Amino acid sequence: MIQLEGEGWRLAWRADLQHFSVLIGGQGWAAELTAAEATALAAAVADLVNEHKALVDQLLVEESISLELERAPWWLALEGDRQKWSLKGVLSPEAGQRALEVSWSGAASAAFCQALQRIGGQP
Protein backbone atom coordinates (compact mmCIF):
# COMPACT_ATOMS: atom_id res chain seq x y z
CA MET A 1 0.00 0.00 0.00
CA ILE A 2 1.17 3.48 -0.87
CA GLN A 3 -0.26 6.26 1.29
CA LEU A 4 0.59 9.93 0.96
CA GLU A 5 -1.04 13.01 2.42
CA GLY A 6 -0.53 16.65 3.15
CA GLU A 7 -2.54 19.65 4.21
CA GLY A 8 -5.77 19.56 2.20
CA TRP A 9 -5.10 16.35 0.24
CA ARG A 10 -4.80 12.56 0.56
CA LEU A 11 -3.81 9.79 -1.82
CA ALA A 12 -3.68 6.04 -1.18
CA TRP A 13 -3.14 3.20 -3.63
CA ARG A 14 -3.78 -0.41 -2.60
CA ALA A 15 -2.92 -2.76 -5.46
CA ASP A 16 -4.31 -5.72 -3.48
CA LEU A 17 -7.89 -4.38 -3.68
CA GLN A 18 -9.84 -5.65 -6.66
CA HIS A 19 -12.20 -2.84 -7.59
CA PHE A 20 -11.70 0.50 -5.85
CA SER A 21 -7.97 0.44 -5.19
CA VAL A 22 -7.26 4.18 -5.06
CA LEU A 23 -8.43 6.77 -2.56
CA ILE A 24 -8.16 10.48 -3.33
CA GLY A 25 -9.17 13.22 -0.95
CA GLY A 26 -9.33 16.94 -0.44
CA GLN A 27 -10.41 19.26 2.34
CA GLY A 28 -13.36 17.49 3.99
CA TRP A 29 -13.96 14.83 1.34
CA ALA A 30 -12.59 11.55 -0.03
CA ALA A 31 -13.58 9.15 -2.82
CA GLU A 32 -12.46 5.79 -4.08
CA LEU A 33 -11.45 5.22 -7.71
CA THR A 34 -10.70 2.20 -9.82
CA ALA A 35 -7.10 1.81 -10.97
CA ALA A 36 -8.17 2.75 -14.52
CA GLU A 37 -9.89 5.94 -13.30
CA ALA A 38 -6.84 6.88 -11.22
CA THR A 39 -4.43 6.20 -14.07
CA ALA A 40 -6.57 8.33 -16.39
CA LEU A 41 -6.65 11.09 -13.76
CA ALA A 42 -2.87 10.98 -13.35
CA ALA A 43 -2.30 11.25 -17.12
CA ALA A 44 -4.79 14.08 -17.56
CA VAL A 45 -3.42 16.00 -14.55
CA ALA A 46 0.13 15.63 -15.89
CA ASP A 47 -0.91 17.09 -19.24
CA LEU A 48 -2.77 19.99 -17.63
CA VAL A 49 0.13 20.82 -15.28
CA ASN A 50 2.59 20.63 -18.18
CA GLU A 51 0.39 23.01 -20.19
CA HIS A 52 0.47 25.45 -17.26
CA LYS A 53 4.26 25.14 -17.02
CA ALA A 54 4.60 25.86 -20.74
CA LEU A 55 2.53 29.04 -20.42
CA VAL A 56 3.75 30.37 -17.07
CA ASP A 57 6.62 32.42 -18.55
CA GLN A 58 4.14 34.20 -20.82
CA LEU A 59 2.01 35.39 -17.89
CA LEU A 60 2.47 38.75 -16.22
CA VAL A 61 2.92 38.65 -12.46
CA GLU A 62 -0.64 39.87 -11.82
CA GLU A 63 -2.22 37.85 -14.65
CA SER A 64 -4.42 34.82 -13.96
CA ILE A 65 -5.00 31.75 -16.07
CA SER A 66 -7.74 29.18 -16.45
CA LEU A 67 -7.07 25.93 -18.30
CA GLU A 68 -9.49 23.10 -18.97
CA LEU A 69 -8.96 19.59 -20.26
CA GLU A 70 -11.59 17.00 -21.10
CA ARG A 71 -10.41 13.44 -21.53
CA ALA A 72 -12.85 10.64 -20.77
CA PRO A 73 -13.77 9.93 -18.09
CA TRP A 74 -12.38 13.19 -16.60
CA TRP A 75 -12.99 16.91 -17.04
CA LEU A 76 -10.35 18.99 -15.25
CA ALA A 77 -9.79 22.70 -14.66
CA LEU A 78 -6.69 24.48 -13.37
CA GLU A 79 -7.21 28.08 -12.23
CA GLY A 80 -4.71 30.46 -10.73
CA ASP A 81 -1.62 32.41 -11.64
CA ARG A 82 2.11 31.89 -12.22
CA GLN A 83 2.81 30.71 -8.67
CA LYS A 84 -0.32 29.09 -7.25
CA TRP A 85 -3.33 27.37 -8.75
CA SER A 86 -6.29 25.25 -7.73
CA LEU A 87 -7.48 22.07 -9.39
CA LYS A 88 -10.99 20.74 -9.80
CA GLY A 89 -12.46 17.91 -11.78
CA VAL A 90 -15.50 15.84 -12.61
CA LEU A 91 -15.54 12.10 -13.15
CA SER A 92 -18.24 11.19 -15.67
CA PRO A 93 -18.05 7.44 -16.23
CA GLU A 94 -20.25 5.29 -18.42
CA ALA A 95 -24.00 5.09 -17.81
CA GLY A 96 -25.01 3.26 -14.67
CA GLN A 97 -21.79 4.04 -12.78
CA ARG A 98 -21.17 6.64 -10.10
CA ALA A 99 -19.88 10.12 -10.84
CA LEU A 100 -18.12 12.59 -8.61
CA GLU A 101 -16.78 16.10 -8.38
CA VAL A 102 -13.36 16.77 -6.83
CA SER A 103 -11.35 19.87 -5.93
CA TRP A 104 -8.13 20.91 -4.23
CA SER A 105 -7.26 24.36 -2.93
CA GLY A 106 -4.41 26.46 -4.21
CA ALA A 107 -2.38 25.39 -1.17
CA ALA A 108 -2.95 21.66 -1.82
CA SER A 109 -3.13 21.29 -5.61
CA ALA A 110 0.55 21.24 -6.53
CA ALA A 111 1.45 18.78 -3.77
CA PHE A 112 -1.45 16.48 -4.68
CA CYS A 113 -0.48 16.57 -8.36
CA GLN A 114 3.15 15.74 -7.55
CA ALA A 115 2.08 12.81 -5.37
CA LEU A 116 -0.31 11.58 -8.05
CA GLN A 117 2.51 11.60 -10.61
CA ARG A 118 4.75 9.62 -8.25
CA ILE A 119 2.29 6.77 -8.06
CA GLY A 120 0.26 7.40 -11.24
CA GLY A 121 1.73 4.51 -13.15
CA GLN A 122 1.01 1.95 -10.45
CA PRO A 123 -1.54 -0.75 -11.39
pLDDT at 123: 41
- The mean pLDDT of 55-67, rounded to a whole number, is 93
| 14-18, 31-35, 41-45: the lowest-pLDDT one | 14-18
| DSSP secondary structure letters along the chain | -EEEEETTEEEEE-TT-SS--EEEEETTEEEEE-HHHHHHHHHHHHHHHHHHHHHGGGS-TT--EEEEEEETTEEEEEEE-SS-EEEEEEE--STTS--EEEEE-TTTHHHHHHHHHHHTT--
Average pLDDT, the chain: 93
Domain count, the chain: 1
- The mean pLDDT of 77-84, rounded to a whole number, is 95
On the question of pLDDT at 103 being above 50, the answer is yes
Higher pLDDT, 94 or 24: 24
- The mean pLDDT of 42-51, rounded to a whole number, is 97
- pLDDT category at 121 given cuts 50, 70, 90 is low
On the question of pLDDT at 95 being above 90, the answer is no
On the question of pLDDT at 106 being above 80, the answer is yes
- Return d(Cα 64, Cα 78) in angstroms, integer: 11
CATH number at residue 27: 2.30.31.10
Domain range holding 100? 2-119
